[in-house]
Amino acid sequence: MVILQKYQNKKIAIYGMGISGCSVARTFKTLETQIFCWDDNEKVRKKIKKLNFPINKFWLNSNKNLIDYIAVSPGIDVNKCRIKNYLKKNPEKIITDLDLFFELNKDALVIAITGTNGKSTTCKIIEKILKTAKYNVKVGGNIGRPVLSLKRSKKKNIFVLEISSYQLQYSKLFRSKHAAILNISEDHLERHKNITNYIKIKTRIFFAQGSSDYSYINSRNKHSKLITNIFKHKKLKSKLISVNKYDCNLLLKKVNNRYFKSIGNIENLKFAYKISKNFKIKAEQCKSYYGDGYTSSRIAKILKLWNPPKFPRKSFYGIQGIDHHILSDNYFNITQEPENILTIKETKVRHSETDQNN
């Protein structure tokens, strides 16, 4: 945690105490910081009190001008939340779990996947390919496990992260080696107001990247021109790779997996294939699996019998309610294991008014 020395002896407010907020609180508790936690949901406050997190209306008391950083949960809309005026007066103090993750893992290789649809599946396909090549791969983010709950190891880590527009909106530092926008369709406009704003927030995934990094966009998506227009006004430093309809056609013929017959899943596979090929995986990394190299034939063998995993359809970010895909009237409650790793227990409750997080 030496990397986070700048936060030592600081006062940190954490607004929104779902699994993301709790992972932030646990990270800061390992440092010499004073944390102030709050969630507008009374049921959540009762649960986090049992986890010994200090509950405090930090924006009202004498500490409000002394707070150094405000860690905002992804589910919070600063324009509509309870303390919107306080947050609008202090935008320079806002940080996110993605920013903290980046500061802790600057030496790790990060693959960040965003888009309106297909993020979870694409992350899992990439994970399957890279794990077969014996890479140490961790998957998290909006797919279920908060980024700050992902364990690091002495072996070099590759993190494959599903990133939502809500997470990107307030992040200032987060950077990844490979960043992809799979597709864009009109979604969450109740928060982002219009499709132009939504796309601008999505493209934030690219602009912290450097010249040695890779950015991937979907050339066939109807909103691709809006993305490339942004690049005309704001210079992209990374290598831009356009994923098109001809990518991995040979691979598709070899895979022969009925799961990769739909347009959406073919799109997911194309991005996973493009990103994986940029790893230039050496033959010895996978020869014990499929012979002398990591060609499309080898990848096809990996994916031929691949079945899509069943994803938890929601993650609970706290104050603004249910995050991710809402399919039932359950959300995931927070518990704590002995090793301080967040786990998820399903509990029956009434939905809040919050929409999904994409």
Residues in the chain: 358
Output the six-digit token pair for 272: 């996973």
* CB neighbourhood size of 29 (10 A): 14
Q: How far is CA 350 from the centre of its chain?
A: 26
Pairing of strands 342-348, 330-336: antiparallel
In the predicted structure, residue 309 carries a pLDDT above the cut 80 = no
In the predicted structure, residue 316 carries a pLDDT above the cut 80 = no
CA 147, CA 143: separation in Å to the nearest integer?
A: 10
The answer to whether residues 130 and 158 touch, using CB atoms and an 8 Å cutoff, is yes
Q: What is the mean pLDDT of residues 163-170?
A: 91
- For 270-296, write each residue's pLDDT tens digit: 999 999 888 765 444 544 443 334 567
The answer to whether residues 172 and 99 touch, using CB atoms and an 8 Å cutoff, is yes
Query: Which one, of 128, 144, 136, lies nearest residue 308 by Cα?
Result: 128
Mean pLDDT of the chain: 80
Q: In DSSP terms, which residues pair with 323 in a beta bridge?
A: 315
CA 257, CA 307: separation in Å to the nearest integer?
A: 9
Query: Which one, of 68, 75, 76, lies nearest residue 93 by Cα?
Result: 68
Q: Find which of 231-235, 314-318, 337-341 is predicted with most confidence, using mean pLDDT.
A: 231-235
Q: In DSSP terms, which residues pair with 336 in a beta bridge?
A: 342
Specify the amino acid at residue 268: N
The answer to whether residues 317 and 354 touch, using CB atoms and an 8 Å cutoff, is no
CA 35, CA 231: separation in Å to the nearest integer?
A: 39
- For 68-96, write each residue's pLDDT tens digit: 999 999 988 988 899 999 999 999 999 99
Residue with tokens 């926008």: 181
Output the six-digit token pair for 76: 């919070």
- For 203-221, write each residue's pLDDT tens digit: 999 999 999 999 999 988 8
Segment holding 88, helix H or strand E: helix 84-89
- Inter-axis angle of helices 97-104 and 19-29, to 10 degrees? 40
In the predicted structure, residue 318 carries a pLDDT above the cut 50 = no
Give me the pLDDT at residue 305, please.
77
CA 85, CA 59: separation in Å to the nearest integer?
A: 10
- What angle (nearest 5°) sits at the alpha carbon of residue 337, between those of residues 150 and 332? 75
- For 90-148, write each residue's pLDDT tens digit: 999 999 999 999 999 988 999 999 998 899 999 999 999 998 888 899 999 988 789 99
Backbone angles phi, psi at 38, to 5 degrees: -155, 145
In the predicted structure, residue 351 carries a pLDDT above the cut 70 = no
Give me the pLDDT at residue 56, please.
93
Helix (H, G, I), strand (E, B) or coil at 181: strand
Q: Which residues have a Cβ under 8 Å from the Cβ of 277 and sit 6 or more positions away?
A: none
Q: Which residues have a Cβ under 8 Å from the Cβ of 178 and sit 6 or more positions away?
A: 110, 111, 112, 213, 214, 216, 275, 278
